[in-house]
Structures are given as C-alpha cells and as structure tokens.
Amino acid sequence: MNELFMLLMVGMTLFTAISQVLLKQSANREHKALIFEYLNWRVIMAYGIFVIVLLVNTYAYTRVEMKYGAILDSFSYVFVLVFSHWILKEKITKGKIIGNALIVIGIIIYVTGSI
C-alpha cells in the first residue's frame, strides 16, 4: 500500500466536495431557461471535476487496497459539511455534527482496528 496514493485519494475527496458545493450553488440560483440549469459554468466545472476525480481514483485504486479506498472516500461528507458552512453559509446543526462525528469515529476504529 502506498501512502502517497492514499493522500491523493483524500485530496480527490476534497475535490469531490468542492464539486458538490458548485452543484448546490447552481441549484440555488434562478436560471433564465431550463437548459441553463444544466449548462452553466458551475455545473460544467463540477462534472469536469467529477471526471478527473474518477480517473485519478481509478488509478489510485491500483495502488491502494479497496478496503482503505472506501474509508478514504468517507471523508467527503466531512469536507462537504465544512464547505457548505464556509461557502454556502449553511447552518451546522447538531445532527450534522453527530453524523460527521460518527463518520470520523468509524474511520478511526476501522484504521486502528480497535473497538
């Protein structure tokens, strides 16, 4: 297992979160016509990022065990929470904190192998 590729996968979850925020920004805006809900720079950039993430993660999975890849992908929920608050000014509710804490605790338990 290569730690560099694991870090690369964590970086890709960061980009996944950015693309999800871009899609949310686009969904929150009024558009002149239905077609512009799908053809605007935020949506096009978000899907472009998704394609790049797909390609990079596909390559990274050749160097990282599948069981670790799935865990690393879980970080996207944490990143989305942070970016949604920071960029979209969404409230961080008690439920979101509990949910993200459970994700992080699950990651720690899985990685350390202790319960």
pLDDT of residue 7: 92
**pLDDT tens digit sequence for 32-81:** 999 999 999 999 999 999 999 999 999 999 998 888 888 888 889 999 99
pLDDT of residue 72: 86
In Å, how far from its chain's centre is CA 108? 18
Q: What would the mean pLDDT of 95-99 be, rounded to a whole number?
A: 95
DSSP 61-93: TTTS-HHHHHHHHTHHHHHHHHHHHHTS-----
The ranges assigned to domains in the chain are 3-112
Q: What is the pLDDT of residue 115?
A: 60
Q: Is the pLDDT of residue 86 over 90?
A: yes
- Please tell me the least confidently modeled range out of 32-41, 83-92, 103-112: 103-112
